[in-house]
Amino acid sequence: MNEVILEEIPATEQIEVTEVAAPAPEPRKKTHGIRENRVFHAVNYVLLTLIILLCLVPFVNVIAKSFSTYNGKAVFLLPLGITGYNYAYVFTAWPYFRAFFVSVGVTVIGTALSVLVMFAAAYALSKQDFPMRKGVMVFFLIIMLFSGGVVPNFFVMKMYGLLDTPFALVFPSVVQVYNLILLKNYLEGVPKEIEESAVIDGAKSVQVMMLILFPIALPSIASVALFTAVSYWNNYFSALLYLTGAEQFWPLAMYILNQIQSPPDVLGDTKYLVQKEYIDMAMIIVSIIPILAVYPFVAKFFVKGVTVGSVKG
């Protein structure tokens, strides 16, 4: 009898019966993954805060000392006995500003020459049909990782008669391979149709490089120029090696290093003798002003120039 009843049930009703099912269990919330992310972000913030403090505290300490008067107490983050004597001494010291102007000249000339040379090399190496392209890149990578050493460099400079001249501060750092690779990768990402259209219009290779690609690559060029300028501005090692007999050509970094390492004249100005450490700190603060003044003009190009030029795509 039961079998007869089941056979007489319409098909539609059978379908409705089969569609009724138990409610699906609610998915578990992934609390474990959320907890891991929170722990990661917390650790990340703590580490970044420590790194910021490690960079910021010494800088604040130098600023505090540059405004302090010596009274036998250690200066940490706040100046003791605020005075302007330290900066007044710096701004009236002619040897300091002679070195300052040397650094300005070396940085401007060196950066312009370096960017021009590296951009020309990057333009050539960005061409797939450039002869021995891979071999030249391997050569650049080798000299970036392995230096010839101090003694060979010294004899090269001596052979060319560049010792005790300002050119010894410029030429050794003209080509910086890392920056050259940034420029090359940036140029490889420029559409080829832009250059081809310029060539069809009759432009030569130099015209394409300087009038077409140079403005397009301006973000990467600005970033590379900033890196190069900072390296020239902070360079003291070249002066230490090549300007042993030409103190008048010392750059600012070398002059400050010499001042910090030199003992004060005990028979000279008594106040300078007491304040020497704090005067040295004032020299350091004044020396970073030019780079800080240039950075805001380059900052808008900085992130884009580095990220686009550092990834080949």
What is the structure's pLDDT at 29?
Answer: 53
Residue type, 169: L
Confidence band of 1 (pLDDT split at 50, 70, 90): very low
What is the structure's pLDDT at 24?
Answer: 55
What is the structure's pLDDT at 2?
Answer: 45
In this structure, is the dihedral angle defined by the CA atoms of residues 295, 301, 305 and 306, taken in order, positive or negative? positive
Q: Maximum distance among all alpha carbons in the chain? A: 127
Confidence band of 247 (pLDDT split at 50, 70, 90): confident
What is the structure's pLDDT at 220?
Answer: 86
pLDDT at 259 over 80: yes
Instruction: Please determine, looking at this structure, whether the domain spanning 93-310 carries the CATH number 1.20.1250.20.
Output: no
Per-residue exposure over 88-102, b if at least 16 CB sit within 10 Å of its own CB, e if not = ebbeebeebebbbeb
Cβ atoms of 309 and 223 closer than 8 Å: yes
What is the structure's pLDDT at 216?
Answer: 87
Query: Rounded distance, CA 294 to CA 49, Å?
Result: 27
What is the structure's pLDDT at 209?
Answer: 87
User: What crossing angle do the helices spanning 252-261 and 94-125 adopt, rounded to 10°?
Assistant: 130
Q: How far is CA 237 from CA 15, 28, 233, in A?
A: 88, 62, 11
Cβ atoms of 163 and 153 closer than 8 Å: no
* The Cα angle at residue 227 between residues 222 and 229, in degrees rounded to 5: 90
Q: Which residue has the higher pLDDT, 32 or 288?
A: 288
Confidence band of 117 (pLDDT split at 50, 70, 90): very high
What is the structure's pLDDT at 23?
Answer: 58
- Count the neighbouring beta carbons within 10 Å of the beta carbon of residue 217: 24
pLDDT at 282 over 90: yes
Report the length, in residues, of the chain. Answer: 313
The model's pTM: 0.78
pLDDT at 267 over 70: no
pLDDT winner (highest mean) among 24-33, 137-146, 292-301? 137-146
Query: Rounded distance, CA 171 to CA 169, Å?
Result: 6
Query: Rounded distance, CA 219 to CA 273, Å?
Result: 47
Residue type, 44: N
pLDDT at 11 over 70: no
pLDDT at 51 over 60: yes
Query: Rounded distance, CA 228 to CA 224, Å?
Result: 6
Confidence band of 108 (pLDDT split at 50, 70, 90): very high
**Domain range list for the chain:** 32-83, 93-310
